[in-house]
């Protein structure tokens, strides 16, 4: 049961409109889906990624309007690490983010660290990997400098030994340095690294990561449910998320993991050219569209006034 690196990362926002401005406008990701949280259809679930809505570049947000700022602590991811192609791309992003009013930190090895408007931590690194670059079009961002998908995440574990055992023995991860593990399949790879957790307790709210998803297949999903039950971790069972099928479990350090399939994908609702333009609902919520849309903040298409590059 080989996992395919990071599939997607889901976080929380208190302001969907500003979230779109930052992730689609500043970071240049494509808004690939405007839908709702299936567990709470009164709130948005926004998806951003590359042009094709590919696993490996998919960052998503639940919107809870006016949510108070959260705080990453034990059992949570605290920084998302993205790939770019070169040191020149890092320089481009340092200038672009600064011009947009986002404070930037340049590390000794040249990476670019920053937080979004709600405090969610990000880092950009220039890497040379065999994975295909997962790039979105944006008129102000040269393709050579665009974000290329996830490299990894940094997290706080509440039980480091247990986290390590699950990654190595259950998930087939390979050690990457003292406190990091890489999950790599035939298509892509990604890593998780652990830092000592802060003394303050975690508070999951705006500006924090809700869960991280690793890539699996529809064929392997039932086997994961069986295996997780056998080792005593338990799981959610297989849940239909419309775009993919998911199995959730919480690892010993407290981090919520999801195992998500690549299929059927985001074009299940229509052609790739239409991604992100309208609110889409899974079939079992379609009869409630009028009531659901009345509760959501109107969000314009961020690409309405520009033409993507050929």
Overall average pLDDT of the 182-200 stretch:
96
Query: How many structural domains is the chain composed of?
Result: 1
CATH code assigned at 24: 3.10.180.10
φ, ψ for residue 111 (rounded to 5)?
Answer: -65, 160
The pLDDT score that the predictor gives to residue 304 is 86
Listed in sequence order, the residues at least 6 apart from 286 whose beta carbon sits closer than 8 Å to its beta carbon are none
Q: What is the pLDDT of residue 178?
A: 85
What are the pLDDT digits (tens) for 94-133?
999 999 999 999 999 999 999 999 999 999 999 999 999 9
The Cα–Cα gap between 149 and 157 comes to 24
Tell whether the model's pLDDT for residue 310 goes beyond 60: no
**Residue 221: pLDDT above 80?**
yes
pLDDT digit string (tens) for 257-294?
Answer: 999 999 998 888 889 988 998 898 988 999 999 999 99
Cβ-based neighbours of 163, under 8 Å, separated by 6 or more: 157, 194, 251, 252, 253, 255
The confidence score (pLDDT) of residue 239 equals 95
β-bridge pairing 40-49 and 30-37: antiparallel
Q: Is the residue at 29 inside a domain?
A: yes
- Residue 307 confidence (pLDDT): 61
Residue 149 domain flag: yes
Domain annotation covers residue 303: no
305 falls within a domain: no
Say if pTM beats, i.e. exceeds, 0.85. Answer: yes
Region for residue 51 given its phi and psi (left: phi exceeds 0; alpha: psi -120 to 50; beta: otherwise): alpha
Q: Supply the range of the domain harboring residue 131.
A: 6-294
* Confidence check: pLDDT of 147 > 60: yes
Domain assignment present for residue 15? The answer is yes
Contact 284, 40 (CB under 8 A): no
Q: Per-residue confidence at 234, pLDDT binned at 50, 70, 90? A: very high
Structure tokens at 4: 């395919």
Q: Cβ(186)–Cβ(147) under 8 Å? A: no
Please give the mean pLDDT across all residues of the chain. 95
Asked if residue 39 is part of any domain, the answer here is yes
Mean pLDDT of 225-251: 96
| Position 77 pLDDT exceeds 50 | yes
Burial 75-87 (b: 16+ CB within 10 A, else e): bbbbbbbbbbbee
Q: What is the pLDDT of residue 305?
A: 81
* 37 inside domain: yes
Residue 245 predicted with pLDDT over 90: yes
- Quick check: is 308 in a domain? no
Q: Give dist(CA 93, CA 96) in Å, integer.
A: 5
């Amino acid at each position: 049961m080989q996992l395919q690196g990071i599939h997607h990362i889901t976080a929380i926002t208190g302001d969907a409109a500003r979230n779109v401005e930052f992730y689609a406008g500043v970071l240049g990701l494509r808004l690939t889906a405007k839908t709702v949280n299936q567990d709470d259809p009164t709130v948005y679930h926004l998806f951003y990624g590359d042009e094709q809505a590919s696993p490996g570049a998919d960052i998503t947000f639940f919107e809870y309007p006016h949510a108070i700022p959260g705080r990453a602590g034990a059992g949570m991811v605290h920084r998302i690490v993205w790939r770019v192609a070169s040191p020149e791309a890092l320089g481009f992003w340092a200038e672009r983010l600064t011009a947009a009013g986002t404070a930037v930190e340049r590390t000794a090895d040249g990476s670019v660290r920053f937080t979004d408007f709600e405090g969610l931590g990000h880092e950009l690194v220039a890497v040379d990997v065999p994975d295909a670059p997962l790039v979105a079009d944006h008129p102000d961002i040269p393709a050579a400098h665009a974000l290329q998908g996830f490299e990894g995440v940094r997290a706080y574990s509440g039980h480091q030994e247990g986290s390590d055992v699950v990654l190595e023995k259950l998930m087939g991860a390979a050690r990457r340095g003292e406190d990091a593990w890489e999950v790599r399949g035939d298509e892509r790879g990604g890593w998780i690294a652990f830092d000592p957790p802060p003394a303050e307790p975690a508070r999951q709210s705006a500006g924090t990561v809700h869960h991280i998803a690793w890539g699996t297949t529809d064929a392997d999903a039932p086997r994961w449910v069986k295996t997780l039950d056998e080792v005593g971790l338990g799981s959610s069972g297989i849940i239909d998320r419309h775009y993919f099928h998911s199995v959730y479990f919480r690892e010993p350090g407290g981090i919520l993991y999801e195992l998500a399939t690549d299929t059927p994908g985001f074009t299940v609702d229509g052609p790739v050219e239409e991604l992100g333009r309208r609110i889409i609902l899974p079939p079992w919520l379609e009869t409630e569209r009028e009531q659901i849309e009345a509760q959501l903040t109107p969000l314009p298409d961020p690409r309405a006034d520009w033409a993507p590059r050929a």
